[in-house]
Amino acid sequence: MTEHEHVRVAVIGSGFGGLGAAVRLRREGITDFVVLERADSVGGTWRDNSYPGCACDVPSHLYSFSFAPNPEWPRTFSGQEHIRAYLEHVADVFRLRPHLRFDSEVRMMTWDAEKLRWGIETSSGYLTADLVVSATGPLSDPKIPEIPGIDTFTGKVFHSARWDHDYDLRGKRVAMIGTGASAIQIVPAIQPDVSRLTLFQRTPPWVMPRVDRAITGAERWLHRQLPFTTQARRGLLWGIRELQVQAFTKRPDELGLVERLAKRNIARAVKDPALRAKLTPDYRIGCKRILLSNAYYPALTEPNVDVVASGLVRIEGSTLVAADGSTAEADAIVFGTGFHVTDMPIADRVVGADGRTLAESWKDGMKSLRGATAAGFPNWMTIIGPNTGLGNSSMILMIESQLNYMADFVRQLDVLGGGVALDARPAAVDAWNDRVQERMKRTVWNTGGCTSWYLDANGVNTTVWPGTTTEFRGATRRVDLAEYEVVRAAEPEPGPAVTSTRRKKAVADA
């Protein structure tokens, strides 16, 4: 990166969202762009999460781009290493390498109202861009709770998303903090090797069997020879999940049957009634993401595993103390405590037209227009923005819908001519957010009786989409200019007294 490089588009992040944006830009004929990545390789969360047992809980043929089908998936639910390899493959096949800027963490992005462009300070230099596409993702910055006394702990401490592969857990006393998607994969993976495993469980998850198997060579051959069979397989997986959406979003009571099946799953694996009681949730299934595992419950019944049905509240040297007063000794602590989802750190690094950061704009809760743009931040877009998450399907479907919106955003800028920016109208953002939150009221995520990472500090669900992926695709098919203000740089008025160009806004004729 040269010191004062200028590009038409700067993409932040090289996970699924960032690479997808790069591919779509090239397909739109745009090659004047860079992908800024803070690490030294692509992959996003599938690069960072390399803990033992890491795998996806969405079927492989659905958890991949529609424009880059992979007939070689080895399992119905693929592991981290295969997904990361797939993303490296996408970077190669679509010739994205020349656009990648590794070791370039974004430190600050500031809107220049005079030049109508973004100034971007990175760890490797400074550049400017007409448009920013932020694809950092909600699962990128680990969250470790502030535990009193953690500085007194004499052993090893790390987060599941920053696994220390140089530290040998064999024969160690390990404390696993949290019971989310990462924890249920880590626990059975490390249980056979550790001397003692203590699981601190604040809230038990609902866990269903994982119907996973190796994809046969014959299947892979068929997918290679007849690509439409890959599309058909993907379509079937998608269709099943689209039919399930109403139970989550409109009729949560219909999830009762699934809940009974989940309880049977616990009963089959856990014979001890006391342990079974600890592991049985008291909220409606689906309120938190339903987790998939065949090995989690059996691992918890092993003699070297203790389940503490209480959260960790303090640490005294090597002793961990739970809220219920129980204690455990540990040589290592693994935090599986999630990510900064509703308070993404990148928001502190985006300074908009009025000098406020995105974090300040979102201090009362994240909200955007169609999950993509925010009022007061012209020519800035996000992939996997507010209320675009899913509770039962593949985020790749949502990402591709947002890429459609991004592509039309760029087209609209071209139509409007040079020296133009689009800024989401506050009224349009509020109207979209109000519709989303109204629909959210009857969803299982809001009515199921749980506290989840879907909710922000105010108890508002700012993360999940309360509808089908088909609905979202329709809502993001094109940009409605009536929802935007067209920002133009005013031409200088004649006369010697004029020393600067003022910003003015002109409303587009929708």
User: Using one digit for the tens of pLDDT, what is the confidence trace for 63-118?
Assistant: 999 999 999 999 999 999 999 999 999 999 999 999 999 999 999 999 999 999 99
| pLDDT score recorded for residue 503 | 39
Contact between residue 479 and residue 409 where contact means Cβ atoms under 8 Å apart? yes
Q: Is the pTM of this model over 0.85?
A: yes
Q: How does pLDDT run across 165-212, given as a tens digit for each residue? A: 999 999 999 999 999 999 999 999 999 999 999 999 999 999 999 999
CA dihedral 491, 495, 500, 503 (to 10 degrees): -40
| pLDDT score recorded for residue 489 | 80
Contact between residue 117 and residue 357 where contact means Cβ atoms under 8 Å apart? no
Exposure letters 425-464 (e unless 16+ CB within 10 A, then b): beebbeebbeebbebbeebbbbebebebbbbbeeebbbbb
CA gap 156, 170 in Å, rounded: 13
Q: Average pLDDT over the chain, rounded to whole?
A: 94
For residue 220, the Cα-to-chain-centroid distance in whole angstroms is 29
H or E stretch covering 27: helix 16-27
pLDDT exceeds cutoff 80 at 496: no
Q: Are strands 319-322 and 312-316 parallel, antiparallel or unpaired?
A: antiparallel
Contact between residue 131 and residue 406 where contact means Cβ atoms under 8 Å apart? no
Residue 184 exposed, middle or buried by CB count within 10 Å (0-12, 13-18, 19+): buried
Taken as a whole, the chain contains a residue count of 510
| pLDDT score recorded for residue 4 | 80
Return phi, psi of residue 496, to 5°. -70, -20
pLDDT exceeds cutoff 70 at 447: yes
